[in-house]
Amino acid sequence: MGFSSVLRMATESVNIASSASLLYNAFSITASRGNVKMFCEIEGALSEGRGWTHLRAQTYPVMTTHGKEYSVFQFRPSQNNQAIYQTFRRLWYEHIFWTRLLILSAIYDLPDLEAVTERLLRNPTDFGKELQQFYGAGVGRTLALMVRDHLVLASELLKAILAGDEAQAAEMKRKWYDNAEEISAFMNRINPNWNLSDWKFMWQEHLRMVEAEAEQILQQDHAASIDTFDTMEKQTQHMAELMAEGLIRQFRL
């Protein structure tokens, strides 16, 4: 799709996205050419009586993960907000890295289990501290506790599976998925840019991949578990970017 086509579609769509454009001086559209869907980000200055000026546009392929299309802004990080992206990418990578080590330590009864668990449980606190800078201590503590529950429930689920307690495993799994729904709803309440349905889907995908990874390690299919981890890394990095983008939008950073 050419730049001129993008701009024509952009100007024709301005009324549809007027609330977003007035607030952020940017809006987006999704267009198709053949079998390829493109996500288009349009930025410009909106001045009374003159309409849009200094328009520029950038197109990206629509991202699809596990059959789900993400219709979200794909920001180009500036020097001012690059640190936000880097922080959440690091936190999400640490989240899945230490989760993997805990699974391995628990399944193989390694002597580092207690130390690994302690390190993993620092991750929710680190997430909370980052959000505290934007929303205050109360919100930061609440999210930290919810993510801590997410990790504790995952650990309890694994313990029940290893003990062969099917009833306890089913209960822990139910609570684990309920917790993911609660985290998604909380995130959407504090930041409407964190789309509720997208975050529900992504949390559920995250849980399903952790389950798959643990099952593969239990079955000693280590190559498959590594492939799952690689997929999970890509998925959580996308989650990190959406968290950063939501903050950039809400606080106009």
Residue 180 in this model has a pLDDT that exceeds 90: yes
Asked if 246 and 95 touch (Cβ cutoff 8 Å), the reply is: no
**Percent above pLDDT 70 for the chain:** 68
Give pLDDT, residue 124.
98
Q: Are 203 and 177 in contact (CB under 8 A)?
A: no
57-70 tens-digit pLDDT: 444 444 444 454 44
DSSP 33-52: ETTEEEEEEEEEEEETTTEE
CA separation, residue 156 to residues 49, 168, 197 (Å): 61, 9, 27
CB atoms within 10 A of CB 170: 12
Query: If you average pLDDT over residues 212-225, what whole number do you get?
Result: 98
Tokens 């309890």 belong to residue: 156
pLDDT at 186: 98
pLDDT confidence of residue 6: 42
User: Scanning the structure block, which residue is given the tokens 């606080």?
Assistant: 251
Over residues 83-135, the pLDDT tens digits come to: 999 999 999 999 999 999 999 999 999 999 999 999 999 999 999 999 999 99
pLDDT of residue 79: 57
Domain ranges of the chain: 3-61, 82-251
The secondary structure element, H or E, covering residue 57 is strand 51-61
What's the pLDDT tens digit per position in 24-59?
A: 334 444 444 454 444 454 444 434 444 444 444 444
Closest to 40 (Cα-Cα) out of 11, 80, 78, 81 = 11
pLDDT band at residue 253 using 50, 70 and 90 as cut-offs: confident
- What pLDDT, on the 0 to 100 scale, is given for residue 40? 52
Q: What is the mean pLDDT of the chain?
A: 80
Taking the C-alpha atoms of residue 196 and residue 242, their distance in angstroms, rounded to an integer, is: 12
Beta bridge partners of 63: 70
Which tokens in the block code for residue 143?
């999210």
| Number of residues that this document lists for the chain | 253
Does the pLDDT at position 237 exceed 50?
yes
What single-letter amino acid sits at 33? R
